[in-house]
Amino acid sequence: DGLIWLDGELVDWRDAKVHVLTHTLHYGMGVFEGVRAYETDQGAAIFRLQEHTDRLFRSAHILNMKLPYSKEELNEAQRAAVRENNLDSAYIRPMAFLGSEGMGLRADNLKVHVMVAAWEWPAYMGEEAKTQGIKIRTSSYTRHHVNITMCKAKANGNYINSMLALREAIDSGCEEALLLDNEGYVAEGSGENFFLIRDGIIYTPELTSCLDGITRKTIIEMAQSLGYEVREKRITRDEVYVADEAFFTGTAAEVLPIQSLDGRIIGEGRRGPVTEKLQTMYFDTVTGKNPF
Ligand code: PLP
């Protein structure tokens, strides 16, 4: 139930449909965002809306898709999707995809459609995970070539590996996967950026094989404002095993402590003090309690 913004109009949730010959359904050429609105004293507030819209446009540019709306129109579409569905807090999903005007890789007459849906978001991995942390495993799937060259794009086609990696992790009793790049260095989770802490210094992979996460950037800025040194560098798997703390960041995952990797307990095996400080600062900021 509710309304979805589709090609410039709010339409009934049930009428927001695509044809089975929608080009993106077949070939995966599409871009999307994951955005979140939090309940604040001033009503629902969309966190880092402009940054998400900017990234959607960058993703589309990388894929050579021309979005038929301005950034401001898509900002407003996201606000409308929250407002018109009377949501206090929401997950917002903008997506641009190619229509069904043609089939095959050579089709060049395809319309670029844009939709924005918003819905209430339950806790991503449960409340307990926020303090106890999650178990993760190194994935047998890597961030392959397309992901590495195209990792700045939040593109539909980039998520096959993420889904395979996540399923593999869940099937082996873990909650999330850690994907390595082609050279064996830590890249990111299936939908999260990765951080570790060792001797009071915070490390995160460089932006060579992971998405330029908006939460990642926020956390780097918050950590620096608290006086921590943040180093972007290549991280190996064994560095994670012997880290004092590790956590994931993402719009959906927020700041999520990691308990163990491949059965090796990390630090105390639950949320560490630095992670807790950053997590608290993040939640206080997104909910408008104590804006950063
Ligand atoms: N890495 C991948 C592959 C993602 O899909 C996401 C989710 O958006 C992230 C990292 C985290 O990015 P952000 O903090 O912008 O949500």
* Predicted-complex ipTM score: 0.99
What CATH number should be reported for the domain holding residue 37? Answer: 3.30.470.10
The mean pLDDT of the chain is 94
Calpha distance 188→161 (Å, rounded)? 12
The DSSP output letter for 103 is: -
Q: Which two tokens stand for residue 138?
A: 């190194």
Euclidean distance between CA atoms 100 and 202, whole angstroms: 47
Looking at ligand 1, which residue's alpha carbon is closest to its atom 6? 191
Pick the last residue of a domain from 69, 90, 119.
Answer: 119
Nearest protein CA to atom 9 of ligand 1, as residue: 192
Q: What is the pLDDT of residues 137-169, one digit of tens each?
A: 999 998 864 444 556 677 776 788 899 999 999
What is the rounded average pLDDT of the residues 253-271? 97
Q: Please indicate whether residue 191, judged by its CB atom, sits closer than 6 Å to ligand 1.
A: yes
Domain count along the chain: 2
Residue 191's nearest CA partner among 218, 167, 171 is 167
31 and 138 assigned to the same domain:
no
Which of 70, 100, 119 is the last residue in one of the domains? Answer: 119
Distances (CA, A) of 37 to 78, 118, 161, 236: 10, 9, 27, 35
Distance 273 CA to ligand 1 centre (A): 24
Residue at 282 is within a domain: yes
pLDDT of residue 144: 64
Q: Could you tell me if 142 and 210 are in contact, meaning their C-beta atoms sit under 8 angstroms apart?
A: no
Same domain, yes or no: 244 and 99 = no
Distance 10 CA to ligand 1 centre (A): 27
| Mean pLDDT for the stretch of residues 134-139 | 98
Residues 134 and 282: their CA atoms lie apart, in Å, by 19
What CATH number corresponds to the domain at position 146? 3.20.10.10
Tokens of 39: 């309940």
Examine residue 210 and state whether it is found in any structural domain, yes or no. Answer: yes
Does a structural domain hold residue 247? Answer: yes
Is the domain of 141 the same as that of 23? no
Domain annotation covers residue 292: no
Task: Write down the pTM of the prediction.
Answer: 0.96
Q: Which of 119, 141, 167 is the last residue of a domain?
A: 119
Residue 150 lies in a domain: yes
* Predicted pLDDT of residue 150: 59
The boundaries of the domain holding residue 114 are 3-119
Residues paired with residue 250 on neighbouring β-strands, in sequence order = 254
Instruction: Kindly state the tokens that stand for 240.
Output: 């994670």
Question: So what's the pLDDT on residue 1?
Answer: 82
Whether 138 and 108 map to the same domain: the answer is no
Close Cβ partners of 53 (under 8 Å, ≥ 6 residues apart): 33, 71, 74, 75, 78, 94
Name which residue sits closest to atom 7 of ligand 1, judged by CA: 191
Whole-angstrom distance, CA of residue 119 vs CA of residue 90: 5
225, 147: one domain: yes
Answer yes or no: do 91 and 153 share one domain.
Answer: no
**Residues 114 and 132 both lie in one domain:** no
| Contact in structure between 107 and 130 (CB atoms under 8 Å) | no
Are residues 136 and 108 both part of a single domain?
no
Question: Does 53 map to a domain?
Answer: yes
User: Residues 142, 277: one domain?
Assistant: yes
Pair (114, 259) in one structural domain: no
Q: Answer whether residue 291 is part of any domain.
A: no
Do 194 and 113 have their domain in common?
Answer: no
Place 216 in a pLDDT band, splitting at 50, 70 and 90.
very high
Distance CA 129, CA 18 (A): 36
Q: Which of 141, 160, 215 to mutate to test the pocket of ligand 1 (most atoms within 8 A of CB)?
A: 215
152 among known catalytic residues? no
Does one domain contain both 109 and 175?
A: no
**Domain-located, residue 56:** yes
Residue for token pair 């077949």: 26
* 250 CA from centroid of ligand 1 (Å): 5
Q: Give the whole-angstrom CA distance, residue 120 versus residue 2.
A: 11
Q: Which amino acid is at 199?
A: D
Query: What average pLDDT does the segment 221-248 reach?
Result: 98
State yes or no: pLDDT of 56 exceeds 90.
yes
As a whole-number percent, the residues of the chain with pLDDT over 90 amount to 86
